[in-house]
Amino acid sequence: MNTGRTRNSPWAIPALLALVTLFGLLAALVGEGGIWWALSWAALAVPCACSAYYFVRGLLPPDKP
């Protein structure tokens, strides 16, 4: 296997997304209102936006070769 792949593990982005999601879930629960709500919304908007972006992109017809 090439070394570029090991440095850029396929898990890098999924792990980052999971961390951001967990932070968002806990921010509003453990933090006390105010800024923590906003941080929670911002963090949890990331998986929402990624889902929407890739879903729309996946439904578009293939690019011209």
Partner 1 sequence: MTARGLRWWSWIHRWSSLICTIFALLLCLTGLPLIFHEELGPNPAIDEVAGPGGRASVDRMIAEALAGRPGEVVPYLFYDRDKPILKIPTAASMTSAPDTFFYKVFDIRTGKALAADQPNEGFLYIMLRLHADLFAGTKGMLFLGGMGLLLTLSIVSGMVLYGPFARRLRFGEIRKRHSNRLRWLDLHNLLGIITLAWFGIVTLTGVINTLAAPIELMWQSNQLLEMAAQNRGKAPDDRKAPVDLVLANVRAAVPGMTVMTLAFPGTPFSTPTHYAAFLTGDTPLTSRILKPAIIDAASGEVVAVRDMPWYATALFVSQPLHFGDYGGLPLKIIWALLDIVTIIILISGLYLWLAKSRAGGARLDLVETASAKAAR
Kindly state whether residue 41 participates in binding partner 1, applying the rule CB under 8 A: yes
Asked if residue 22 lies in contact with residue 47, where contact means CB atoms within 8 angstroms, the answer is no
Kindly state whether residue 35 participates in binding partner 1, applying the rule CB under 8 A: no
CB of 46 to partner 1, least distance (A): 9
Determine the length of the chain. 65
Place of tokens 């929407």: 52
Measured in whole angstroms, the distance separating CA 39 from the mean position of its chain's CA atoms is: 14
Binding site residues, partner 1, CB under 8 A: 5, 10-14, 17-18, 21-22, 25, 28-33, 37, 40-41, 44-45, 47-48, 50-52, 54-55, 57-58, 60-62
